Amino acid sequence: MTTPRLIVLVGMMGSGKSSVARRLAREGRVLLDTDTLVEERTGRTVREIFATDGEPVFRELETSVLEECLGHAGPAVIAAAGGVAESERNRTALHRARAAGSAFVVWLRTDPQELVRRVGHSTNRPLLDADAGGRLLELAASRAVNYRAVADVVVDTDGMSVQDVAAAVNAAVAGAGAGMMDADGPAT
């Protein structure tokens, strides 16, 4: 088996997807961050899209961008928006890319209390406007099943530096290239 062309990072906001993707991109992959691409294409921030058009419009944009990213021809790392696995269409697209051998999906799993510590006071995350801590706990619990459903492997990020998480992702991808995948347990 060959190494997958695309590494897709999924997980909650605050799990480190964007930071880890930037680190992995230093190793010869194109960086594709779905939130950033949505913002570049619309000329508005995610918060502005939520405020003016609503979450459903943002999710449609997110799906369009994800599908484009999954069609990227060369080596890339995709930092997928936190809610990307909530959509059946997105899950299907991720499953197809995995089945074709072009994508390897890594769930960056972070303890919900750690997420609260990292992003609970953020002002640029529209889903956290009211009771950020409670909302993060709720989202983490409800999204876990979908993250697991799309992931080839889980990397637990608690207590790890960006460099350590990137190394764990690289090890998981190398294992995928050798035909070893484990979606049920942590990869380190």
DSSP letters along 118-185, please? Answer: HHTT-SS-GGGSS-HHHHHHHHHHHHHHHHHHH-SEEEE-TT--HHHHHHHHHHHHHHHHTT---SSS
> How many Å apart are CA 14 and CA 22, to the nearest integer?
14
> How many Å apart are CA 4 and CA 55, to the nearest integer?
32
pTM as predicted: 0.86
Tens digit of each residue's pLDDT (9 = 90 or more) over 47-72: 899 889 988 999 999 999 999 999 99
Q: What pLDDT is stored for residue 132 in this prediction? A: 62
Tokens of 44: 């508005």
